[in-house]
Amino acid sequence: MSTRVKRAYRYRFCPTDAQAAELSRTFGCVRKVYNLALAARTEAWVTRQERVSYHQTSAMLTAWKKTGELAYLNEVSSVPLQQTLRHLQTAFTHFFGKRANYPRFKSRKTSRRSAEYTTSAFRSRDGKLTRAKMTEPLDIVWSRPLPEGTSPSTVTVSQDSAGRWFVSLLCEDPSVKPLPATGQAVGADVGLEHHLTLSTGEKITSPRHERRDRAAPARQQRRPAKKEKGSANRARARLKVAKIHARVADRRRDSLHKLTTRLVREDRTIVIEDLAVRNMVKNRKLARAISDAAWGEFRRMLEYKAPWYGREVIAVDRWFPSSGLCSACNTLRDTMPLHVRTWTCDCATTHDRDVNAAHNLLAAEPAVTVCGAGVRPQRSTPDGQSATKQKPSRREP
């Protein structure tokens, strides 16, 4: 494994009024160029069945800048405009590879406000970062140092819905190296009451960040509706709501980082379940709790951190009946309602639902490693006959 791992270091910064105005113009130009290029590529495909490449959209950008209507594109750095065309090319690559939906137009109100700069468009020296088209460096709050002896390859400036400004520096981190092999594997079953249950029997309680702060956003969200649309009072009320949600998201992200880092440091292999979270949140009774648990983000963090430290994450088939399968005798229960938290098998073994699921996930690891995620371990029905052809019931969270 290569030790050249690139990591993004994100910091808060406080722009001056001039810097904020220039960045806002850049965000608007980036959004405009992205939408123009997407419209051009869509029109070419619909009318002529022609695929437009990145180089063609780059030539279009040069022509757009020469028109009177779009001459304002020359007022900002050209690098973020070229980068957004590259991002659009990546989006189409994923679409044609059937890994994503068709790219959508960016909205001024809902789309992420960001601009990416490569090495030719910024200067980083003596702890100060200066971007193209700016004379003053950004006033960055250096909450942690960058890796020693490294310099950022790209810089991304963004503003979230709460009005906070961030700068993200992509650097190579030589300190990230594979950890010593532990030889240990652990099954991890996610849930709502307990965020994570390990095959060791340990249960990690769900922080439930959204539930803890539910009253504050509910109260604040009623206030914008009482303000006149387009007024400054309505904008200030909306900003207060966004700050509450940002605080909840920050807490959730912090706890997930701590949990996933601990798992990849302690265990060589982490076995999880391949849950269809997008489908599960369609359950109106559980959608809010599932979204607060952030199972998808938990898996994403595990999967990108594990290769850094020489670990492995294995996802077991989502139809694998981990909760209703006895980990002692492999007897499969026909049904396993969500309210059943403990149950006793015919072999007289009493199971905790979540711990049993974690044990079954760990037991499925060898078969999944050898044959793929669709393989399920041999199990039997109460009468002792094989049940490999029996369709298992889908496990609820």
Q: Averaged over 52-62, what is the pLDDT? A: 95
Phi–psi pair at 204, nearest 5 degrees: -105, 115
Q: What is the pLDDT of residues 230-259, one digit of tens each?
A: 888 888 888 888 898 899 999 999 999 999
Q: How confident is the model at residue 369 (pLDDT cuts 50, 70, 90)?
A: low
Residue 88's region, left for phi above 0, alpha for psi from -120 to 50, else beta, is alpha
Q: Do residues 73 and 65 make contact, with C-beta atoms less than 8 angstroms apart? A: yes
Average pLDDT of the segment spanning 194-201: 90
**What is the per-residue pLDDT for 179?**
86
Residue 195 has pLDDT above 50, yes or no: yes
pTM value is 0.82
122 near 155, Cβ under 8 Å? yes
Annotated catalytic sites, by residue? 189, 273, 354
**pLDDT tens digits, one per residue of 157-194:** 999 999 999 999 999 988 888 888 877 889 999 998 88
Burial class of 279 by CB neighbour count within 10 A (0 to 12, 13 to 18, 19+): exposed
Residue 319 has pLDDT above 90, yes or no: no
Residue predicted with more confidence, 85 or 180: 85
pLDDT tens, 102-153? 999 999 988 999 999 999 999 988 888 998 888 889 999 999 999 888 889 9
pLDDT reported for residue 397: 37
Q: What percentage of the chain reaches a pLDDT higher than 70? A: 91
**Amino acid, single-letter form, for residue 49:** Q
pLDDT at 213 over 80: no
CB 395 within 8 A of CB 323: yes
C-beta atoms surrounding 34 within 10 Å: 21
Which uninterrupted H or E stretch holds 218? Answer: helix 215-221
Relative to beta strand 269-273, strand 185-190 is parallel
Pairing of strands 312-316, 269-273: parallel
Angle at 236 between CA 233 and CA 240, to 5 degrees: 140
Within 10 angstroms of residue 145's Cβ, the number of other Cβ atoms is 8
More confident residue, 386 or 73: 73
Average of per-residue pLDDT values in the chain: 86
d(CA 84, CA 34): 6
